[in-house]
Every structure is written in C-alpha cells, then in structure tokens.
Structure 1
C-alpha cells in the first residue's frame, strides 16, 4: 500500500480526495492537514510515502512546508497539487524537493497514476508546469554547486544546460557545431549518468543544482 497524506486548507477538497483515493486498492490515505505546519507534524508522526501538497495554505505555505521537511530530515515523495497558475511557483517548488507538480484540474485517473509514479521514484510535471519550469531563470549557483552528483564531462555538462533551456537535439547540435547523432549520444550518456529516464528529469536535475 502507498500511504498518502493530504495537505490542503479546503475541507471539501480534502474530503473529495480522501473519498476518491480510498477507492484505489493500493492507496491508503493516512491523514489530512489543513495547513503546512500541521502537514510537517503529520509527516513526522505518520511517515506517509507520498504527500499531496497544496501551495497556498495558512500558517505555513507549500514552499515553506517543503523547506521545513528538508530541515527536519523528513523525506516523503511530495506531489504538489495546486490551483495556482503562477509560472513562478513551479521551479522554486521543484528546487525545494517536490517530486511532481500538477494542477487541480487534472483527470482523477491521471492523479492516481501520478501518485504511483512519484512513489516509484519518478519526477512528474503537468505539461504547463514543465514549460514554466524551463522558462523561469534559476538562481545563481551556490559556491559549492560545482560538486555534481554525477561525473559529467565538460561536454555533457554543456548538453545538460542546453537541455534545461528547452533546446532540441537539432538545436543543440547547431549550438555546439557537432552532428545531431553526436548530441544523441551525449544525451543518452547524461540520462544514464544522472539515473533519470527522460529530458524533463534531466532538466530538473540542472535546475536543482543551479546549472540552468
């Protein structure tokens, strides 16, 4: 069973999610939080696998909740589920440790699949959120940002930053003055070394490490 905690300040939303998710054989809603501070406390006491997190909440908002979870060493997979359409909210949430970002108009079946996906270690973004994340400038890298998790070559690092800027293989090839086939090889190596499945997850890595 995948243990799910719902954090949303609207009781109707929480009840609706609990009722729907409770119909799934592999999901167990273990609790509800009406604000971010309560969500952090319940994560600590209930140890859910996945936290469904709204961004706009009283006491402690969604971003503050993500940061507080990190401070406390708590590491549920966090799937942001919000009605906020602000493009600027996506990148900060992903950099703060969210594993996915969806909007509340998502199809219910797609939400269930998203919960399963983030629980399985995948990074998942609504198409609008992915586009927004790649278009929002990342903050300047910290002095220690050069310590990369993966041993990328200088060329692979160039390719990664271009992936994060939304460039296609053809555009990367033109930018670097190399053959498109060579770019495909570099992209494959980057994905393998980062341990990610696709370009979106690679772009997230770049954003989180101040490379984009």
Structure 2
C-alpha cells in the first residue's frame, strides 16, 4: 500500500520557503539548496514531494542525473536536453551536439573552458525569464565537467532559479576530492540551504508500520525492524515489500544482504601516463594534451590506449574518473 513520507516535514517546509522566496523576489541569481544523505534515505523522494507541492508552479523544471554506466562529460546537461527542443537556442550547433552527447558530434571539440561557458548559456536559455527549478540528482556520481557546471550555475547571473542538489556524502562519490570541492562551493553561496537526511527514528518507523498494518505494532517488533533496517527508508520499504500480504510478525525474519563492490587492484603507471591522465582529468583532447606535453598526438593516443587498458576503463571519461577516485589528487596539467 502507498505510504506517505514520514520524518521529513521540516525539510519539506524549508524547501517550500526557499522556492517561495525565489518566486516572490524575481531574483536574477539562483538560490541554492544542498541535500545530502546515505543511499536510500529518501533524497529523491523529498525533492519530488517538494516539487509537487511548490506554489506557484515553476515555469520551468530542469532535472538530470548521472548515467549508471559509462559516465561521460556533461551527463547532467545531456539528461536535461534529452528529448527537449533546442531549436530556439541561439548557440553553436556543434557545441550543442557535444553537450547533448549526440552520436554524430563533430570530431573537433571545444576547449574545456569554452564548452563550460556554452553549457551555462544553454541552461540560461532554457530557463528564460523563469522562475525555474534546477534539480541535480546524484551529484556524487557526476563527471568532473558536470560538477564544474553545477558550481558555475550556483553563482550565474541572469538565472532566476532554485538550484536543488542531492548527493551522497563525498566519501561515497565517484570522485571524492572533486565532490568535496563542489559541495563546498555550493554550500558557500550566500543564503544556501543545507540539509542532511539521516535515518528514521524508531518512532518514525513505528509510524510507517502503523500506516501499513492499520495499528501500532508492539514496541519490541518496532525496535527489531528499526535495528534490522537501520532506519533506512529504502531498506524499510524493501523489507515491507518482501513480506507483503503477511502478518507484521514476518518482519522479524531474514535481513536482505547487500553486496559491496570489490576495491579495484593497484595500477602501475609510467610518469608519462600520469601526465596524460592529468590531461584527461582536465578535459583535454588528444591534440590539446600533445600540445601541453610537447609530444605528438600519436604518442598521446598510445598512452590513452594504455591507460584505458590498465585502469579497466571503456572511455576517456571513465579513466579520468578512475584517476580522481583511486589515486592521490592529480597535479595541475602543464600549461599549453
């Protein structure tokens, strides 16, 4: 049976106040709300509930998240642009093709800084006069280019919007160091709202069980369910689904096991491969990396191929994400 959200009334009210301030003030710069919490605590559900209750209704809602597999630059914006008509945007078609991750993108790509500026212009064009809500789901799983874009949007001029960012803690991120910096940048925006969702209390678990079973279960059973699920709303939902149609006493049984991924093996890289990897993290093309390092494009191509093989990556972006996740913070790439 459907269960209403429990234990998040304060956070919902705070999000509603943030939106009301944006809608009333006609401000030109975004307001920022950052929501963090472990997997399954209800970040996405909270955002969805807030959006449903916003009044007045947002003129525009732009929502995106990282892809589960094979992350690529500007995943968030590509998700926003998917299926959306961009014909009215006065922007270079080749840049839009890159940002939308279209299969027929030009061979020559923009310099990272230039593409970032175009990405901000794309969002500004989609928002128009606003007011809008920009939803960034799973910041922890985003690629470095998307993290840069979200940070730029938080302080962009002429962008009347509420920017709502949901993320797991930086320690769980694909790129922990970059995510720490991105979260710090977002939370440092003047007036930013900061929320952290923890597990449900035993009393809140009892409230959920009462909704499902029609009467308040015994304290002993509530406490057992609370301990078994850790108060995690997703784990609680899964436990209830697994015993749907059975009596409340069935919740005493079997805890689902959640496998943890194995840590990747250590990888030995040459000094030159490390330099090329730094260039990939910076978003450079092979030609830009060759110019920065003073070597040929062919040599860079060979090193990139070796990096993909050694790190088990299927793309340049995966290799860059591997670098920031499994190695010490990379050095700044050479100026070129």
TM-score by length of 2: 0.27
Bigger strand share: 1
Larger radius of gyration, structure 1 or 2?
2
